[in-house]
A and B are shown apart, each in its own frame.
Chain A
Amino acid sequence: MAINDKRLEVTEFDFDEVKTNLKTFLKAQDQFTDYDFEGSGMNILLDVLAYNTHYLGFNANMLANEMFLDSSSLRSSIVSHSKTLGYTPTSARAAKATVDVTLNTNDSSLTMPAGTVFNTSVDSVDYKFSTITDVTKSNTGNSIPFLNTDIYEGTFITTRYTVDSSDVDQRFLLTDNRADTTTLTVKVQTSSSDSTTTTYTEATDITQVTASSNVYFLQEVEAGLFEIYFGDGIIGSALSDGNIIILTYIVSNKSLANGAALFTNAATIASVTDVAVATVAAASAGSEPESLQSIKYNAPLSYASQGRCVTAEDYKVYAKRFFPNTKSVSVFGGEGGSFDTSLGVVSTPEYGKVFIAIESTTGNNLTATEKSTLISALSPFTVASITPVIVDPQTTNLILGVSFLFDSSKTTETATSLASKINTTLTNYNTTNLAQFDGAFRHSKVTGLIDDTDTAITSNITTVTMAHNLTPTLNTATSYTIQLNNKFSNPHTEHNKAAGGILASTGFKVSGDATNVQFFDDDGAGNIRRYYLTAGVRQYQDNTAGTITYSTGEIKISNINITSVEEVDEAASTFIRLTVQPDSLDIVPVRNQILKIDFVNTSIIGAIDTIAIGDSSTGTTASAATTTSSTATTSSY
């Protein structure tokens, strides 16, 4: 009977497998034989044993996962691991706006207290913004102006704790997980009878902290709350019993109030009823607490950067930390290019600077306030003599022309429904691979993805056109330089000269001609030409309206006074779309460039593959889907 008296499998943790192993083990004895029957007492005992083993195995597995930053899934674990790397996750951020508040009064000076409330609304939902510090200003005539006052969306909260060292569990928590720690001020009052208060600042670098430094430390704890704790008298000054800790901070609605631009005071300010509030900068930068994925990504990088911005990766980490709405960041040193206010980002080196291009999650460029806030936040971490400069991302749209053939005997789908599937494929590609810095367009990968969209698709031919939206300065003679950073198609000089070269544009009107809608094209020899159409024939107005450098992908438009812009995509527009045919089918973004597929103008056309369905008279017709040219040589875009 003892067929299996030495083996007890221990590699399985699944309930049924554990139970099977126990049964196998029990086969070695004949004291009890009924373990195989579901109703038997032995079987119930095995249930208990297997359940216990399974439970412990699961527990051990979860425990092991939570022990490492890479595999942990609980926020508390991830935050704790990041703490060992010296990284504090960013809290929820309140939307911040800047306003000029003017009190029309004859008083000589007044104080606008912390917690002064301003009302606003976004999408018909009311929000309250508050100041977070007391500000005192003097009269400038018959009013007291509080210029460039920062106000934060949310409720201004004050939390008090009395230090009691006999309570070993005492903790000092911000009471809400929507608290914005950047608005936190920490004051310590000596005692209930002595109202002397000392302001404490956050310790960011312990090498600078002495035994008498009035600093506090910040950490995230369970449930997304933040806790502050104080020094021990050796690193940072210690608190004593009876001290009253006063925490003031904003509890916000995170990103909901972003965009609020019109503010009114909720009540009198310093007893003044005649108050004017003017918006300097609309509300922005409200955001969710840092996501788990982001903490996992940033904590090791933050540790690697050692509190310094030296390499491009360091700047990426700090840009994300100080501007939480960052979607992606591109950083390049001055040796690799520079920024010129009129030319944009160019390849000319400019040493001593580092250029940071940030794509915001809102899709908008950073406002001037956001840029200057970020630069001042970065300055303590940068290497001396290096100046950070924030530049806007430059979007280059890709217009695809997809012609595919499909085997109609393999599918019940129509060309239209397959086109819709391909559109989804391209949308996914756009989201995951493009639409971020460093996201290059790889033509063969895309055509492969299109083929793999459905088994019925037999082949595809996909053309690429680059497009740039140029926003002109209206009614002022201005020159424009556009760097697309990818070589343009120009197989020989004067290529396609008669039909308009490889450049095309949407329409616009220029000063001196209010009737004719003008367009750009090129002569294949490096010159940009301006023309209008009469009965479909190009009437050239200027044969040297600018230059186009095919080898570097640069378009320069000479001084031109544009008075109005025609519709683009059948909608009123503020920009002119320029399209060019690139030399290579792969498009690479450089420096601050971002590639995106333009789905409005991308065409996806399907046809039945006559070879695949066995039509013998094929050969000639099978190539019907081949397009002759992808280049927009007219103003059709």
Chain B
Amino acid sequence: MSNITSNAALSDAQSTNDISRNVRQYKDLDLFFSRKNGTNDIEKITDIEAVKRSVRNLVLTNFYEKPFHPEIGSGIRDMLFENMTPITAVVLARKVEDVIENFEPRARLIGVRALPNLDRNEYEVTIEFFVVNTPTELVDMTIFLEVLR
């Protein structure tokens, strides 16, 4: 078993265009299940934040994890058990690219970098993309991947 830690996108302060006239807003369920201030409703996440969360979900999904859809996933967990080399890092970055290109149409991918941090036994994966709804703002998200065991 391995476990994967990452930075949470919860506290992200990216801009959104949360106005009712916007019919093309991305609105998703917050899987961290945070509570909306003042009500007991579940929090919504929107636009850039929603897409970032989706990208994070996809990167952390393994093949055969989704019921009846074994093809959806990144397969990076396997890479974490490989020897930590720059080549592995490139392959890992490639896998992240693939999963986003294949399953996240809202993200226009600019680039993925995976930097091995040998001392901490982790990869720092930086993903840069534009959200289709917000074409002017380059999103830059970083996920740390490490094998716990």
- Give chain A's interface residues, CB within 8 Å of chain B: 15-16, 30-34, 37-42, 44-45, 47, 50-51, 54
Chain A residues closer than 8 Å to B27, beta-carbon distance: 30-34
B104 CB contact (under 8 Å) in A16, A39, A47: A39
Flag if B106 contacts A37 (CB, 8 Å).
Answer: yes
Chain B residues closer than 8 Å to A45, beta-carbon distance: 29
Flag if B67 contacts A40 (CB, 8 Å).
Answer: no
Chain A residues closer than 8 Å to B106, beta-carbon distance: 37
Chain B residues closer than 8 Å to A39, beta-carbon distance: 53-58, 61, 103-104
Cα(A34)–Cα(B55), bound, Å: 13
Flag if B58 contacts A38 (CB, 8 Å).
Answer: yes
Which A residue's beta carbon lies closest to that of B66? A47
Flag if A41 contacts B53 (CB, 8 Å).
Answer: yes
- The answer to whether B72 has its CB under 8 Å from any CB of chain A is yes
Given A31-B44, A33-B27, A34-B26, A40:B66 Cβ within 8 A: no
B1-45 CB contacts (< 8 Å) to partner A: 25-31, 44-45
Given A33-B26, A33-B27, A41-B57, A51:B103 Cβ within 8 A: no
Chain B residues closer than 8 Å to A33, beta-carbon distance: 25-28
Flag if B68 contacts A40 (CB, 8 Å).
Answer: no
Flag if A34 contacts B50 (CB, 8 Å).
Answer: yes
- The answer to whether B105 has its CB under 8 Å from any CB of chain A is yes
Cα(A25)–Cα(B57), bound, Å: 24
Cα(A209)–Cα(B47), bound, Å: 80
Given A32-B29, A38-B58, A40-B29: 4 more A-B contacts, CB < 8 Å? A39-B56, A39-B61, A41-B31, A47-B66
> Shortest beta-carbon distance, A12 to chain B, in Å?
13
Flag if B29 contacts A41 (CB, 8 Å).
Answer: yes
Among B56, B68, B72: residue with most chain A CB under 10 A? B68
| A-B interface, 3 closest residue pairs, ranked by CB to CB distance from nearest | A39-B54, A41-B29, A39-B58
Which A residue's beta carbon lies closest to that of B103? A38
Annotate B71-115 by CB proximity to A: 1 below 8 A, 0 otherwise: 010000000000000000000000000000001111000000000
A38 CB contact (under 8 Å) in B25, B29, B45, B104: B104
B68 CB contact (under 8 Å) in A16, A30, A38: A16
- Give chain B's interface residues, CB within 8 Å of chain A: 25-31, 44-45, 50, 53-58, 61, 66-69, 72, 103-106
Flag if B44 contacts A40 (CB, 8 Å).
Answer: no
Among B25, B29, B30: residue with most chain A CB under 10 A? B29
Chain B residues closer than 8 Å to A16, beta-carbon distance: 68
> Shortest beta-carbon distance, B94 to chain A, in Å?
18
Cα(A39)–Cα(B49), bound, Å: 13
> Shortest beta-carbon distance, B29 to chain A, in Å?
4
Which B residue's beta carbon lies closest to that of A16? B68
Flag if A37 contacts B104 (CB, 8 Å).
Answer: yes
Chain B residues closer than 8 Å to A50, beta-carbon distance: 67
> Shortest beta-carbon distance, B84 to chain A, in Å?
27
Chain A residues closer than 8 Å to B29, beta-carbon distance: 32, 34, 40-42, 45
Which A residue's beta carbon lies closest to that of B45? A41
Cα(A45)–Cα(B44), bound, Å: 14
> Shortest beta-carbon distance, B63 to chain A, in Å?
13
Flag if A40 contacts B57 (CB, 8 Å).
Answer: yes
> Shortest beta-carbon distance, A46 to chain B, in Å?
10
- 21 residue pairs of the A-B complex, CB under 8 angstroms, read A15-B68, A16-B68, A30-B27, A33-B25, A33-B26, A37-B104, A38-B66, A38-B69, A38-B103, A39-B53, A39-B58, A40-B28, A40-B50, A40-B57, A41-B28, A41-B31, A41-B54, A44-B31, A47-B66, A50-B67, A54-B67
Cα(A30)–Cα(B23), bound, Å: 9
Flag if A42 contacts B28 (CB, 8 Å).
Answer: yes
Which A residue's beta carbon lies closest to that of B30? A41
Among B45, B54, B61, B69: residue with most chain A CB under 10 A? B54
Chain A residues closer than 8 Å to B54, beta-carbon distance: 34, 37, 39-41
Among A15, A32, A41: residue with most chain B CB under 10 A? A41
Chain A residues closer than 8 Å to B26, beta-carbon distance: 33-34
Chain A residues closer than 8 Å to B50, beta-carbon distance: 34, 40
Cα(A39)–Cα(B72), bound, Å: 9
Which B residue's beta carbon lies closest to that of A50? B67
> Shortest beta-carbon distance, A374 to chain B, in Å?
54
Flag if A44 contacts B44 (CB, 8 Å).
Answer: no
Cα(A440)–Cα(B105), bound, Å: 66
Cα(A451)–Cα(B141), bound, Å: 69
Cα(A51)–Cα(B45), bound, Å: 25
Cα(A62)–Cα(B121), bound, Å: 49
Cα(A31)–Cα(B26), bound, Å: 10
Chain B residues closer than 8 Å to A42, beta-carbon distance: 28-29
> Shortest beta-carbon distance, A57 to chain B, in Å?
13
Chain B residues closer than 8 Å to A37, beta-carbon distance: 54, 103-106
> Shortest beta-carbon distance, B119 to chain A, in Å?
31
Cα(A349)–Cα(B115), bound, Å: 98
Chain A residues closer than 8 Å to B103, beta-carbon distance: 37-39
Cα(A506)–Cα(B50), bound, Å: 90
A32 CB contact (under 8 Å) in B28, B61, B66, B67: B28
Chain B residues closer than 8 Å to A34, beta-carbon distance: 26-29, 50, 54
Cα(A51)–Cα(B56), bound, Å: 22
> Shortest beta-carbon distance, A23 to chain B, in Å?
14
Among A16, A31, A33, A38: residue with most chain B CB under 10 A? A38
Chain B residues closer than 8 Å to A44, beta-carbon distance: 31, 57
> Shortest beta-carbon distance, A221 to chain B, in Å?
35
Cα(A15)–Cα(B66), bound, Å: 12
Chain B residues closer than 8 Å to A32, beta-carbon distance: 27-29, 44
Chain B residues closer than 8 Å to A30, beta-carbon distance: 27
Flag if A15 contacts B31 (CB, 8 Å).
Answer: no
Cα(A39)–Cα(B65), bound, Å: 12
> Shortest beta-carbon distance, B86 to chain A, in Å?
28
Chain B residues closer than 8 Å to A47, beta-carbon distance: 66-67
Which A residue's beta carbon lies closest to that of B60? A39
> Shortest beta-carbon distance, A398 to chain B, in Å?
52
Cα(A44)–Cα(B58), bound, Å: 11
Cα(A400)–Cα(B43), bound, Å: 81
Cα(A37)–Cα(B54), bound, Å: 8
Cα(A30)–Cα(B46), bound, Å: 12
Flag if B72 contacts A38 (CB, 8 Å).
Answer: yes
Chain B residues closer than 8 Å to A31, beta-carbon distance: 27, 44
Chain B residues closer than 8 Å to A40, beta-carbon distance: 28-29, 50, 53-54, 57
